[in-house]
Amino acid sequence: MTLSPGAWAKPDRPRRAVGQSQESRAGGGISCTAREQVPRGQLGRRCLRFRFRCRLREAGEMLRARRGRPGAAFLLLAVAARAMAGAPTVSLPELRSLLASGRARLIDVRSREEAAAGTIPGALNIPVSELESALQMEPAAFQAVYSAEKPKRDDENLIFFCQMGKRGLQATQLAQGLGYTGARNYAGAYREWFQKEG
């Protein structure tokens, strides 16, 4: 028995809808239907993009569901409290008192341009980007660069501040990590000082 050359060819397979995800065909998940019919093995770019958007939508719903859990808000608060626990703060009234008695050493960690536009009287400007290297300098090198005495690791009130509070917190945590046990963050920052004292 002889077969013609075309006899070994696979028969044409039926066309199928490809815009529908496996989950929706199984009866669960998000329904993603497409109008176009594409031959098997020839998935077009439009179809692939459609499936990708469906997956993104599913992931977004899962994320929103997780955020809605009762413990999620508590976890966020716990993380924030832990971050603040390692950075003691100083209030504006306390800062006024410390400055009046000469018991505070202020460091402005904003950029030089920000500090030139206005700062708390008596503050030394060390941008947060160079703070780590500055606090590790020899006292003589620090004096030469910043024209001021280098803070001591046992200074009781080494107070950092910035414009809004974020860089001040970062600087305080960095200083504490380098052994400056009296490092504190003026959380109200220069914005509060300018509003109430400027």
- Residues with catalytic roles: 162
- State whether residue 108 is helix, strand or coil: strand
Query: Does residue 30 come out as left (phi exceeding 0), alpha (psi in the -120 to 50 range) or beta?
Result: beta
Which is nearest to 15 in space by CA: 41, 36, 42, 37? 37
Neighbours of 136 (CB within 10 A): 11
- State whether residue 110 is helix, strand or coil: coil
Q: Is the CB of residue 149 less than 8 Å from the CB of residue 161?
A: no
Which is nearest to 171 in space by CA: 185, 157, 181, 182? 185
Element (H, E) at 31: none
- What phi and psi values does residue 61 have, to the nearest 5 degrees? -70, -40
Q: Is the CB of residue 17 less than 8 Å from the CB of residue 33?
A: yes
